[in-house]
A and B are shown apart, each in its own frame.
Chain A
Amino acid sequence: MTLAAADLRGPNQPKNVLAKISIPWIVVFAHLFIILLFPLLALLLQAIVLNPAQFWALATTPIALSTYNITFGTATVAAIVNMLAGTLTAWVLVRYQFPGKRFLDGIIDLPFALPTAVAGITLATIYNQSGWIGQFFAPFGIQIAFSRVGVAIAMIFVSLPFVVRTVQPVLQEVEPTIEEAAWSLGASRFQTFWKVILPPIIPAILTGTAQAFARAVGEFGSVVLVAANVPFQDLIAPVLVFQRLEGADIPGATVIGLVLLLISLVLLLIINLLQAWGRRYDV
């Protein structure tokens, strides 16, 4: 059984999967099952063990419901902020020349590379009442760190690159000459933006926004350090899972964790559909 077993046939002939068990296949499946799929199934089974009434009761306690509200509400805010800021950033990077452009383009991916714990302690320090930025809001009674606003900022931080990086390449493809054609035909700048520039980049904007939302919903490291993690105020669902685990409440953690997992899977499906929709014009 070697790598070469089926390689000499053309790449596009569908083959019987069972007929070519080669070393790479064994490695891929062993790794996937031990690290990802068996643990995933274990989580599902742990939840199934509970009877539906028990499950429902644990999944819909007042604290649990409030964490869903806070998680999805704040993640929505973060995703919308990133949708607007990210599209604008992509536009500015693609269309304009200005000093600091390379620097800006280089730092956009920093939130992906920076450990979330680092983001958490930094944002908590800067946005607290005596922090570099928080101090300007404190006199007005606005508290950023240890409140829902801080949670939103942490979520915006960690999901910042998605929209920029999905819109940028698509915007590169939109020729400026098309805009000039629109102007020359008498369209206003606003009409040009709305009718000429926006339509081709909408799928990319939505894909990036959905990715940002998914990332914000699952975020733990930065939020747990920025928030006060008080139920009904700024406690998010992933932190609740963690707190229940620390309190050795495995069933309680499992139920919330499963709810989060199912939501991630649904979001993943939506993102894939959006990407397919975005590619419908590709040759």
Chain B
Amino acid sequence: MTFNLDTQAPAVEQEISPKAPQDWAKIGLILLVFAFFTVILIVPVIYVFVGAFSNGLPGFLGTLSSREFLNALRLTLMAVAVAVPLNVIFGLCAALVLARKSFRGRTFLLSVIDLPFSISPVVAGLMLVSLYGRQGLLNPVLQALDLRIIFAFPGIALATILGGMPFVAREVIPVLEEIGDEEEEAAKTLGASSWQTFWRVTLPAIRWALGYGIILTTARAMGEFGSIAVVSSNLIGRTQTLTLFVDSSYRNYDSQGAFATAVVLAGLAAFTLVIKQLLEHLYTKRYKAE
């Protein structure tokens, strides 16, 4: 799940010169790519909207005003409200540490931060259960303190934090490395404290990357499914997040309700992509200007 602003070099207008044997191959290849994307991606995405409005607008609005949906939305937003700020603070600190200092094990630490991308969401949930669950290692302590983590909100929050952990650091590190530390050093030389330097020099320089990292973390938090399914599989009171609500509505043959909720989530996904395109566009323009 990486979106790097720098993976896409500016789109240079490249046409093979007229001397090149131009034939049907080019058109054939383009059509082939479109056929693949139509079957795998475009048709499914169109269907999300069709399914959501299968009972017309009233059905769609009916789902969005139902108590179950609103409860699911509230729980998801609560998880987002806990996970995103913590991940942003973590990501910023990790970026400052990794981009500004060299130390042994730096590459290893980078890989560790990226781990949540490569672990199956079910295994991520299982890890949390192994530590914080009823038969987990911390159970005696949690019992003594009368804390419930798994099958309760803290477990959902932990799973959400785990899934979105790498995004901010990943977006901010390349930018910090690119801008270098001259301005920060200058600020310090002129007597700024480290906080002042961070707020007035570093933060303005990384604001775009940080903003995009926050959007990615939020999108991931709203869409987190596998690990939350594990840590809340028999939650008392059957409170669900939006993704679990999609899953259970679909299994209970309420496909209209499932797709109406899916549209809300898909809209958020589309929003992240629009922002991404916009940032790339700005970045390319700046890149060309230089």
Contact = CB atoms under 8 A, between A and B. Distances in A.
Contacts of A54: none
B225 A115 contact: yes
Interface in B122-148: 122-123, 125-133, 135-138
Interface residues of B, number: 114
Given A104-B33, A132-B43, A115 B222 contact: yes
A102 to B, nearest CB: 8
B225 A116 contact: yes
Chief secondary structure at chain B's binding surface: helix
A122 B116 contact: no
Interface in A111-143: 111-126, 132-133
A268 B118 contact: yes
Given A117-B247, A183-B20, A109 B265 contact: no
Given A180-B17, A250-B129, A268-B118, A107 B9 contact: no
Which of A169, A260, A261 gathers the greatest number of chain B CB atoms within 10 Å? A261
Given A7-B100, A17-B103, A157-B40, A268 B111 contact: yes
8 contacts: A32-B90, A35-B165, A218-B119, A238-B123, A246-B233, A254-B130, A260-B120, A264-B123
Interface of A: 2-4, 6-8, 11-15, 17, 20, 23-25, 27-28, 31-32, 35-43, 45-46, 85, 88-89, 91-92, 94-98, 100, 104, 106-107, 109-126, 132-133, 153, 156-157, 160, 165-166, 168-169, 172-173, 176, 179-180, 183, 189, 214, 217-221, 225, 238-239, 241-242, 245-246, 250, 253-254, 257, 260-261, 264-265, 267-268, 272
Closest 9 CB pairs of A and B: A115-B223, A218-B120, A3-B194, A42-B131, A24-B93, A39-B127, A113-B269, A42-B130, A220-B226
Given A115-B224, A118-B223, 17 more contacts: A6-B101, A7-B194, A17-B105, A35-B162, A39-B131, A85-B33, A106-B273, A113-B270, A113-B272, A117-B262, A118-B265, A157-B44, A160-B40, A217-B120, A218-B123, A246-B233, A260-B122
